[in-house]
Copies of this chain bind each other. A is one copy, B any other.
């Protein structure tokens, strides 16, 4: 369990996604981000926790559609949820985005090598 947590924590930064497991997590994260509705949800949640009903109002989309996208985001670790009465509140888990940021940082550093020549 502890090992798994640690793996998840380092999957981008340490291994540059060389293992299959790490790769899957990374891809799931990117896929989760790569969709307009989900990106809107993420940006909305960056202003704070919201229930599904809030998101429905903001976006004017069907409930089942929003729930579907929330599920994708949750499974990718981008958001977490908590129940309060009838409402379920979602919030960003910024650590996922942080790991993505670290991966990019690593790549950019790689590109600075004299041999690597990126744009």
Q: Report A's interface with B, CB cutoff 8 A.
A: 16-17, 23, 26-27, 30-31, 33-36, 39, 42-43, 45-49, 80, 91-95, 97-98, 100-101, 104-105, 107-108, 110-111, 113, 115-119
Give chain B nearest CB distance to A24 CB in angstroms: 8
**A116 and B46 form a contact (CB under 8 A):** yes
Cα A94 to Cα B118 in complex, Å, equals 6
**In whole Å, how far is A107's beta carbon from the nearest beta carbon of chain B?**
5
Distance, CA A113 to CA B39, complexed state (A): 20
Q: How far is the CA of A118 from the CA of B115 in the complex (A)?
A: 40
A46→B110 contact, CB < 8 A: yes
If A27-B34, A34-B27, A47-B115 touch, does A97 touch B92 (CB 8 Å cutoff)? no
